[in-house]
Amino acid sequence: MRYIGFRFFYADQRSVKNGARSRRRKPFLASLAISCAAGWLLLAPQAKADPVRIVAFGDSLTAGYGVAPQDAFPSKLAAALRTKGYDVAIANAGVSGDTTSAALARLDWSVPADTQAVILEFGANDAFRGVIPSIVSQNLDEIIRRLKARGIEVLLAGMYAPRNLGADYVAAFDGIYPALAKKYGLIFVPFFLKGIFGVDGLVQADGLHPTAAGVDTVVKTILPSVEALIQRVRTRKAS
Query: What tens digit of pLDDT does each residue of 144-167 get?
Result: 999 999 999 999 999 999 999 999
| SS3 label, residue 156 | strand
Could you tell me the pLDDT band of residue 49, with boundaries at 50, 70 and 90? low
Please state, in angstroms and as integers, the Cα–Cα distance from residue 46 to each residue in 77, 112, 233, following that order: 23, 24, 19
pLDDT given for residue 111 in this prediction: 98
**pLDDT (0 to 100) of residue 50:** 87
57 pLDDT exceeds 80?
A: yes
pLDDT digits (tens, 9 = 90+) for 219-230: 999 999 999 999
113, 130 contact by CB (below 8 A)? no
Going by the DSSP 8-state scheme, the letter that residue 92 receives in this structure is: E
Q: What is the pLDDT of residue 237?
A: 86
Name residue 102's amino acid.
A
8 vs 196: which has the higher pLDDT: 196
- Note if 60 is an active site residue: yes
Pick the catalytic residue from 71, 101, 141, 206: 206
Identify the pLDDT of residue 179.
Answer: 98
Q: Is 15 a catalytic residue?
A: no
Instruction: Single out the catalytic residue among 59, 60, 98, 110.
Output: 60
* Average pLDDT of the segment spanning 127-133: 97
For the chain, strand residue ranges (E) read 52-58, 88-94, 117-121, 153-157, 187-189
Instruction: Output the pLDDT for position 14.
Output: 36
Q: Look at strands 117-121 and 153-157 and give their pairing.
A: parallel
18 pLDDT more than 80:
no
* pLDDT for res 8: 38
Range of weakest confidence among 16-25, 137-146, 225-234: 16-25
pLDDT digit string, tens, across residues 68-113: 999 999 999 999 999 999 999 999 999 999 999 999 999 999 999 9
How far apart (Å, rounded) are the C-alpha atoms in residues 174 and 225?
Answer: 20
What is the pLDDT, as a whole number, of residue 19?
Answer: 44
The helix, strand and coil proportions of the chain, stated in percent and rounded to the nearest 5, come to 55, 15, 35
Query: What residues contact 233, with CB distance under 8 A and at least 6 apart?
Result: 52, 116, 117, 153
Q: Phi, psi (5° rounding) for residue 195?
A: 90, -5
**What's the CA gap between 54 and 232, in Å, rounded?**
12
Beta strands in 98-209 (DSSP E): 117-121, 153-157, 187-189
Closest CA to 159 of 132, 184, 122: 122
Maximal CA-CA distance, the chain: 86
Q: Is the pLDDT of residue 4 over 90?
A: no
- In angstroms, what CA-CA distances link 32 with 24, 36, 43, 45, 110? 13, 6, 16, 21, 41
Q: What is the mean pLDDT of residues 128-138?
A: 98
Residues 161-205 have pLDDT tens digits of 999 999 999 999 999 999 999 999 999 999 999 999 878 999 999
Per-residue model confidence (pLDDT) at position 44: 35
- Residue 110's Cβ-side half-sphere holds a number of Cα atoms within 13 Å equal to 23
